[in-house]
Amino acid sequence: MKTKLLLVAFLSFFAAKMNAQCSAQFTYSVNPNGSVTFTANGTAINPPATLYTWDFGNGSAGVGQTVTAVYNNTASYIVCLTVLDTFNTNGCTTTWCDSIYVNGGATPCTGAPNAGTTVASNYSPVQGSLVTFSLTGNTTGNGITYQWQRGITATSAFFNVGTGTSTFSENLYSDYCYRCITTCTNSGLSDTSTILCVTPVLATACNASYSFNYNALLGNVAFTAATAGNVSTAVYSWYNGTTLMGTGANYSTAISPGTYNICLLVTNAATNCVDSSCGTITIANPNTCSANFYIYPDSLGAPHTYIGVNNSTNGASAYAWSWGDGTSSTGQYPSHTYASAGNYSICLTVGTPGTTCYDTMCLAASINKTAAMYSINFGTPTSVSSVSKELATIYPNPAKDNFTIKGLSTAKYQVEIMNLNGSILKSVSANGNQAINISSLANNIYILKITNQDGTTQFAKLIKE
């Protein structure tokens, strides 16, 4: 029992000796990159079991006997080291703090700085535009200060326009010369960059005039802003009254017939210019062109072949055909062949770009194609009322309740009235100059098949109104 008590007393004395011998001193050194390395060099009772923890005084911490910290600002900091012997719960624990001074994480400048050359981002800027000046040469390092100066000529007095950075920017409105004086605060030495003189180019005032072109066939209007005096930094805004339509020097938009107050606003921050121009434009109703066509079965040609007649008037120069099967054609007298069975509507749009000539006509379900191949071939009409060598003339055309075949009263005609699908709606026999009643027919376009007494056949278009 006495032996165990003596052992406890010895261990207690040994622990007390460990606490007495534990210390937390450290040294530090500044690295070339501006960071700081700390080394714990105090006394530790059990080095393998000793824990070193650091508070670097800048909000960060570390662990280890040798650690490195980075300081972004030039200032004094209080650094604390805590040493803990983790061998047992009775191991030593102690903390030691010391103040240090760091230079903001950059290598202090040494010797004379080299300001090098002043370089401008634009040697011939547009008047009022932003110009940036920078330095070439060895001007880095903690403790380097920059003093930018500007003067009217290379020999005139300079005055401060900015400090603290190796670049400087300002809007340039007149001829100026620039230089930068760099100073090393550690050594007190300074250097001056070369002098650079820049002359801005006088900018022509903004020009907000514009022109426009109406494309009746497409139903849109294209606006073009004048480019004289404007540079690439200009912003073009198009307004219909007070409503913004779009932007860009060239702007197109769909438009309906009517009168519009179109304004162009041109702004250019680079040249401090603003200009606007408003004008009234009138888009007339597209009724000066007339889209008109019809088709009829070709009784003398191949089966399932139609003859088409483009009767459009008033000087249209552009033609767009939609065949109703997802395909289209252009040209005044196109041809088309249907590949699949179905009912197809044909539409023709005519117009003349740059004018108000624009019109569209459709024949609903004008082709009812079966499994056979159907083709349409458009040709030039010989007149409004006939589509082949004329044997007889019909009048009036358009007709309301009656029409007459002009010819000898003794001539005999067999007349078949067909719709545009080729279906016969009415068949009558008539003499020349005999009225044929059509009051029961709906207002529409019809095809007449007229056969005279010797068997000669002709086709004609009849408009019922």
Cut 0.85: pTM above it: no
Asked whether residue 108 is domain-assigned, the answer is no
Res 157: pLDDT:
73
Same domain, 356 and 416: no
Task: Give the CATH number, domain containing residue 78.
Answer: 2.60.40.10
Domain hosting residue 448, numbered range = 393-464
What is the CATH number for 409? 2.60.40
pLDDT means over runs of 10, the chain (465 residues): 33 38 81 80 71 90 90 82 73 83 64 84 77 83 81 71 85 83 80 87 73 75 75 82 87 85 81 77 70 69 72 76 88 86 81 71 68 71 38 73 74 82 83 86 84 73 81
Last residue of a domain, one of 323, 348, 379: 379
Task: Please check whether residues 215 and 194 belong to one and the same domain.
Answer: no
pLDDT computed for residue 81 by the predictor:
92
- 3 state SS for the chain: CHHHHHHHHHHHHHHHHHHHHCCCCEEEEECCCCCEEEEECCCCCCHHHEEEEEECCCCCEEECCEEEECCCCEEEEEEEEEEEECCCCCCCEEEEEEEEEEECCCCECCCCCCCCEEEECCCCCECCCEEEEEEECCCCCECEEEEEEEECCCCCCCEEEEECCCEEEEECCCCEEEEEEEEECCCCCEEECCCEEECCECCCCCCCCEEEEEECCCCEEEEEECCCCCCCCCEEEEEECCEEEEECCEEEEECCCEEEEEEEEEEECCCCEEEEEEEEEEECCCCCCECCEEEEECCCCCCCEEEEEECCECCCCEEEEECCCCCEEECCCCEEEECCCEEEEEEEEEECCCCCCEEEEEEEEEEEECCCCEEEEEECCCCCCCCCCCCCEEECCCECCEEEEECCCCCEEEEEEECCCCCEEEEEEEECCCEEECCCCCCEEEEEEEEECCCCEEEEEEEEC
Question: So what's the pLDDT on residue 386?
Answer: 36
pLDDT for residue 55 = 94
Quote the pLDDT of residue 174: 76
Do both 409 and 353 map to the same domain? Answer: no
Residue 85 placed within a domain:
yes
Domain boundary among 198, 228, 253: 198
Please indicate, yes or no, if residue 288 is contained in any of the structural domains.
no
Q: Domain for residue 159, yes or no?
A: yes
In a domain, 132, yes or no: yes
Looking at the fold, whether 374 and 424 belong to one and the same domain comes out as: no
**Residue where a domain terminates, one of 263, 283, 303:** 283
Residue 97 counted as domain residue: yes
131 and 185 together in one domain: yes
Domain membership of residue 75 (yes or no) is yes
Same domain, 10 and 92: yes
- Per the structure, how many domains does the chain have? 5
Residues 278 and 297 in one domain: no
Q: What is the pLDDT, as a whole number, of residue 387?
A: 36
Q: Is residue 428 included in any domain, yes or no? A: yes
